[in-house]
Structure 1
Amino acid sequence: MHPAGLDDDLRVALEEVRAGRWRPMRDLLAASGTDWELRTSRSQVLGTAAARSHVVRVWLVEEPYSADAVMMRARVAVERALHAHRSGHDSAQDFAREARKAALAAAERLERDPVPWVCLLALALLDGDQLLDEHRWRAPEPMLPAGPWRLMHRVYQRDRFNREAHHRMLQVLLHARTGGSAAALQFVHWVGSWVPRDSGSSLLVLPLYAYAEHYRARREQGAYDAVAHWQWRGEPVVLDVRRAYQGWFQQSHPVRRSVLDLNYLAHALWAGRQYEQAARVFAELGPHAARQPWGYVSDDPHDPAAVAAGFTHARAQSLAVAGSPPPRADPRR
């Protein structure tokens, strides 16, 4: 799956960043303007690529007063901190401190921009014991555990429906000492209580991630099997899948759809035996298979070939039942 997904402009800028050229990145962020949804998703993908080089540092040398360059410095620093944490790097804490410093500097420089606060939310993933005060604030809903809610509030002040922020919070609740799959499910149901049903918001897909994580955990415990998928055909799962299909997929612009969200929706529809709807999502998705959620239902979640086979089987079955032709290969791959 290409990290740019269906965003062709991002795809071009991403290739330039990988080649060490920063100007297309600058121009793309400028063109995104105050479209926070677009700015957040594009800066996340660009930051992941830029973290492998010094391209943002070069940009800051050339344009030291660029607010977008300051924001991208925070993106890169956070990506490096997350990578250091995952790899068990000896200097992981130093990376985290530098990233927090960069994110706070970006927040001060860009008062209306949600991205710096999303960066700080991402860093909360590194504090599973919630040692920092800002990571253990009381939740706005009594049933939810303490967490980085103050940071989430900062995002809400700027972009109420920010996709990445909610996914970051979901991961925090899944892995925090006081969290787990139950806390994650409570969180997505709380979000679903205030997201308009026909808004086209990608937050309508958020519950499918929590259900997939719950399924993964239960399967590892031997409670679920990977064949029957019966757990995807009961309430409230089927209702949330329907909301995601009708309220997001049928209402949103194709260019703004996350390929990962399309994968999760296609999987949920297929597993719930809603093959005709799944076929429509698969047709939109094309060949862009994501490792998850297909790894959760494959014979070997760690085997890329098995994961790809699971995706191909689900797509072929859905298209066959719906009577749709197989999607053409994407010439951009």
Structure 2
Amino acid sequence: MSGTVQARFHPAGFDDELRTVLDDVRAGRWRSMSELLRRCPTWGIRTSRSQVLAVAAAQGDAVEAWLQEDRDANAVMMRARVMTQRALTAHRAGRRDGGVLADLAWKACLEAARNWPVDPVPWVCLVALAQLDSPEVSRRRPEHRLPAPEYNLPPGPWGFLHEADQRDRGNREAWHRMIQALKAYGDDVHDVARWICTWAPAGSPLLLLPLYLHAEHYGKQRASGSQTSLYWNTDPIAYYTKRALSRWFRYADPAAWSPLDLNYLAQALFSGGLTTEATPVFQVIGPFATPEPWTYMAEAPERWLEQFERARRRCLQGAAARPPHPARRR
């Protein structure tokens, strides 16, 4: 893709079908959403599509209208999705009704899980809701402080994660939600991310988890004036950056690529001085930039797109200036 393509953010990313359906959902229409979810080829794609749809649907009544006419498994699942999204939004805004919304979402997730037992999405939602629990261990739901599968990892909602993982091994959102819950409890999650990378197979987006944590850490430290760009050249950050390139980017199914994962990898490669390696990642991203992780690198968060464009331009211009590979010369 050309480096001159205007970058923008769109929640649907590469998914053209989802982009069209989102317009319907925002207008209160549900039939195209029903059809799209019915045709998802994998659990992973169904998980990611339902997450994006829920963000839009939570601001309207499309799912409620759907349930009035058709209470199929996808409608019940999307109710759990929407209620989970509303609870998360209320919690982030510090609203007083956050706890009530979380309880309602919890019940909706359990109903969805009973309604279609093979579906991983209700369990993913339960992991997401776990981050809303009290950071104080004594006040936390027992389901949210189960022992970890490894002795040196913190307790958490491992049971819910196990249920999601049994239905869709390595479900991307489920593991990201697990990291969010543990962070909300005040746990150090770097060891969790490193442990995940010891068993995540080639092509798994879980191999990028360390990059998410390092980008967020860099942003916080940089904001306080205690971090420099040399951060990205240090071990083990450089190690996990190169490993994500070699074990994820070069093996992953392009149909399942997340623009967010691609942007995190491109940023880590660029920030680590690996502009040649970053070039094909930027080419795949095309116009689909995401605010994170560029907000952590920009002079001001609202200037994240400038930071993305600057990095992409440098990489793509550098590639154009490099001589062709000898084997390709005519």
Q: TM-score over 0.5 for the alignment?
A: yes
Structure 2 matches for 1:162-241, cutoff 5 A? 162-177=171-186, 179=187, 183-196=188-201, 199-225=202-228, 229-241=229-241
Take 2:297 and 2:33, find their aligned partners in 1: how far apart are those partners?
A: 37
Q: Which deviates further from its counterpart, 276-285 or 213-222? A: 213-222
2:79 maps to 1:82: no
Q: Check the 8 A contact 1:279/1:324 in 2, yes or no.
A: no
CA distance in 1, matches of 2:310, 2:256: 26
Distance 2:319 2:226 in 1: 31
Deviation track 1:179-221 (CA, whole Å, cap 9, x = no partner) reads 1xxx22111111101012xx31111112110111222233344
Give 1:175 shift: 2.3
Task: Tell me which residue corresponds to 2:325.
Answer: none
CA contact (8 A) 1:232 1:272 kept: yes
Task: Kindly provide the amino acid, as one letter, of the partner of residue 49 in structure 2.
Answer: R
In 2, Cα distance between the equivalents of 1:46 and 1:218? 34
5+ residue gaps, structure 1: 326-333
Report 1:1-333 matches (<5 A): 1-32=9-40, 35-64=42-71, 66-129=72-135, 130=137, 131-177=140-186, 179=187, 183-196=188-201, 199-225=202-228, 229-301=229-301, 304=302, 306-323=303-320
- The structural deviation recorded for 1:253 is 2.9
The amino acid that maps onto 1:109 is N
**For residue 329 of structure 1, what is the aligned residue in structure 2?**
none
**Kept in 2: contact 1:7–1:256 (CA 8 A):** no
> How many residues of Structure 1 are paired with residues of Structure 2 in the alignment?
311
The amino acid that maps onto 2:320 is: G
* Structure 2: distance between partners of 1:324 and 1:53: 50
SS at match of 1:207: helix
Q: Deviations over 1:151-187 (max 9, x none)?
A: 111112111210001111111122213x1xxx22111
- Structure of higher RCO (CA pairs closer than 8 Å, 6+ residues apart): 2
Structure 1 distance, partners of 2:16, 2:253, is 14
Letter in 2 for 1:118: V
TM-score (ref. length: structure 2)? 0.90
Structure 2 unaligned residues grouped into runs of 5+: 1-8, 323-330
Taking the aligned partners of 2:25 and 2:230, their CA distance within structure 1 comes to: 45
Q: CA RMSD in A?
A: 1.5
Distance 1:278 1:188 in 2: 23
Length-normalised TM-score, structure 1: 0.90
Write the letter of the residue equivalent to 1:16: D
| SS of aligned partner of 2:292 | coil
Q: Aligned partners of 1:244 and 1:166: how far apart in 2?
A: 16
Give the distance between the partners of 2:134 and 2:30, measured in 1 at CA. 34
